[in-house]
Structures are given as C-alpha cells and as structure tokens.
Amino acid sequence: MKKKHSLYSYKEEKKYRRQLRFALVCIVVFFTIYVSFTSFLFSMRVILSDSMRPGVHAKDRFIFSSYELYSPELQRGGVVLIDRGDEDRRDIFMKFLDGFIRFWTFQNSGISEREDFFYLKRVIALPGDEVSMTNFVARVKKKGGPYWITEFESSERRYEVIIPQSPALWDRSLPFSGAIDPFVLKEDEYFLLSDDRSNTNDSRTWGPVPLKRIKGAALFRYWPITRIGKP
C-alpha cells in the first residue's frame, strides 16, 4: 500500500511506479519461462483414472518430460503418457494459453484437448522385443536375447500389478483374457500395459503403440505429498 506522504511527493510517486513496473515485468518473465517449459519441455497433469493401481491413483499429479522437442530413450518399466486422440495441431500461442490456464487451475483444466484421450501406461517391451502373456503377466524376449524373462525381470524399475480372476470359461481370444501368443514388435512399436490388469484398455486391445503417440515419460509425482517420487 502506498504511504500517505507519497501522495504529495513526486519522488516517492516515481519510486512507487518504478517498483510496480519491476513487479509486473517479473511476473511476465516468470510466466513466460513457466509456460515455455511446461508447453515444450515438461508438462504437469492430473491422472484421471485408477488403471495404474496400486502404484498410481486417480488425482495423483505428475511432471512429465515432453517429446515436443526431443525424444529420450524409453526404458522397460517406465511410465508414459500416451495420446489416443487426434494429432495435436495447436499453434504456439494456443500452447502458451493452455499452459497459463493449467497453472491457475492447478492442472485441472486446459484448452483444445480432450483429457479422456490421454492415458498413463507402463512400457513392457521395446521395438524388436518378442512379447507373450500368460495369466496376465507379460513375458519378454529382449531383441537379440537368448531366452524369455518376465516383465518384472526385464524392467529397470520395481512395480506391482493387480491380477484379476477370470471366469473359468473365459476364452483367451477375448479382450483382457490375460493370454497373448508370442509376437515380435516392429520398429518404432512399444508394448504398453496397465498395472491394473482388469478391464482397462492398453496394448492388449489397441495393439502396439507407435512412438508418435507417446507424449512424455513420467518423471516425478509431486502430489499427494505422501507418495512423492517416481511411479
């Protein structure tokens, strides 16, 4: 608040305006840097579903790397954000505006995106790997590898999955049956699964996911505080 004597002092009035301009410039610079990072290098999102239980729950908040400018090598066991909607054709201005709105709504709202097209999944196998599944647990023969190992042995991270109990007469050809015959991933194809192997969509129903659909890797969970860390 302005001091009363400044109302009658040109020097104090000039100093106040200079401080106000400096504060406004700092705010503009801060938001420009923030939106630039969250639009092109990193993104912050709220998870909407429980398909990655028990490790990730709905309403968890994550920081993701962004593949807008670079594509770091994916790892088996890593968690990624994929887009099953139309290709994102937003221009730079719309990306900035989207980041601005997400900041003030605590990542709960954005523009020009359908949030229900975004999914969080775990990378099970990489291009060139051979994949199969028995009783909802994937088995991987790494590209050029001599033998099969479980997804947990091939992963560079430790994680748990939820194994559902299928009806006795559930046909293996039906979705979510928990059984997949061996096949080899082509170049630029990734096999992704939910940690909750019950009725959730993943590569069992979509098939292998191309890299262009992978929008980022989960780097860090920052909320809730009790579960801060990597997924």
Instruction: Return the pLDDT at 51.
Output: 92
**Averaged in consecutive runs of 10 residues, what is the pLDDT profile of the chain (231 residues)?**
56 78 79 63 82 92 74 84 68 62 63 67 96 94 94 93 74 69 94 90 92 89 89 81
Instruction: Return the pLDDT at 97.
Output: 67
Instruction: Return the pLDDT at 105.
Output: 65
Query: Nearest-CA neighbor of 216 among 69, 100, 59, 109?
Result: 69
The type of residue at 2 is K
Instruction: Return the pLDDT at 143.
Output: 92
Instruction: Return the pLDDT at 36.
Output: 61
pTM above 0.85, yes or no: no
Q: So where are the chain's domains?
A: 12-227
DSSP output for 100-139 = HHHHHTTTS--SS--GGGEEEEEEEE-TT-EEEEETTEEE
Q: Are 1 and 16 in contact (CB under 8 A)?
A: no
Q: In the CATH scheme, what is the code of domain 12-227? A: 2.10.109.10
pLDDT digits (tens, 9 = 90+) for 105-133: 656 666 655 555 789 999 999 999 999 99
Instruction: Return the pLDDT at 44.
Output: 78
Peptide bond into 54 cis (omega under 30): yes
